[in-house]
Amino acid sequence: MTDSLILEVHDLVVNVLTGIYSQETHLPQPLRISISATLDIAPHYAPDTPLSASKNYMTLKEAATLLPNDVHFTLIEAVADHIMDNLFADDPRISHLVVKIVKLAIAEDNESIGITMSRSRK
Local confidence band at 1 (pLDDT 50, 70, 90 cut-offs): low
Cβ contact 95:118 at 8 Å? no
Q: Tell me, which fold does domain 5-120 have in CATH?
A: GTP Cyclohydrolase I, domain 2 (3.30.1130)
Cβ contact 61:25 at 8 Å? no
DSSP 37-61: EEEPPPS---TT--GGGS--THHHH
Domain ranges within the chain, ordered by starting residue: 5-120
Q: Tell me the whole-structure pTM to 2 decimals.
A: 0.91
SS3 103: strand
- pLDDT tens across 102-114, in order? 999 887 888 889 9
- pLDDT tens across 26-77, in order? 789 999 999 999 998 888 899 999 988 889 999 999 999 999 988 999 999 9
